[in-house]
Amino acid sequence: MGSGSGTACDITLNTSLSDDERARWQDPGTIRRILRDTRTVAVVGLSTDPQKASTFVAAYLQYEGYRIIPVTPKGGILLGERTWPDLASVPDPIDLVVPFRPAHDCTEIARQAVAVRAKAFWLQLRLLNREAAEVASAGGLDVVMDKCVKMEHGRFQGGLHFAGMNTELVSARRRGR
């Protein structure tokens, strides 16, 4: 007999969610579906500061092939893309909405995400707003909370592994081309 599967530990989480909440808001299948099906990502509150986390996430996703739609009242061009003052102003279909705003702003952003018929709503690591998650979910969106979209993409795409991080992926199958 081996040591059993119990000695593995769950370490990527660093989450303050309960097990029930994790099952609901951090479902690996949902995360993979969002990463696979998304083409456009509205980044609400994208910073003009190139060293802020929002820029790191958006620049990464842009290089990985997603189209970034910056949403900020400050106007101008960010990451080569025209900015829009709010989700309702964006003329193109939005697949994923990722707020970089204080938690208390996220319920309203979730309502707007439902109104523009976005397909998914993602609250970043340590950005907790259960009401926002419920609003988006009730509106038919896939919802993730308390996870980083860049970290999750990096886990599955393989890049995070090159930084020496624990992706928790085990597979003897050859990676797809």
Binding residues for another protein (CB under 8 A)? 2-12, 14, 28-29, 31-32, 35-36, 50-53, 55-56, 59-60, 63, 125-126, 148, 151, 154, 156-177
Place of tokens 């419920």: 134
64, 157 in Cβ contact below 8 A? yes
Nearer to another protein, 32 or 39 (CB): 32
Q: Is 103 helix (H, G, I), strand (E, B) or coil?
A: helix
Nearer to another protein, 82 or 126 (CB): 126
- What are the residue ranges of helices labelled H in 26-105? 28-37, 53-63
Place of tokens 């990464």: 60
Q: Rounded distance, CA 130 to CA 24, Å? A: 11
Name the strand (E) or helix (H) holding 145.
Answer: strand 142-145
Nearer to another protein, 80 or 91 (CB): 80
Q: How far is CA 15 from CA 8, 22, 145, 167, in A?
A: 17, 8, 9, 16
Cβ of residue 139: shortest distance to another protein, in angstroms? 25
Nearer to another protein, 32 or 74 (CB): 32
Q: Rounded distance, CA 64 to CA 75, Å? A: 24
Cβ of residue 37: shortest distance to another protein, in angstroms? 12
Cβ of residue 23: shortest distance to another protein, in angstroms? 11
Cβ of residue 168: shortest distance to another protein, in angstroms? 6
Place of tokens 């690591």: 125
Cβ of residue 84: shortest distance to another protein, in angstroms? 23
Nearer to another protein, 52 or 67 (CB): 52
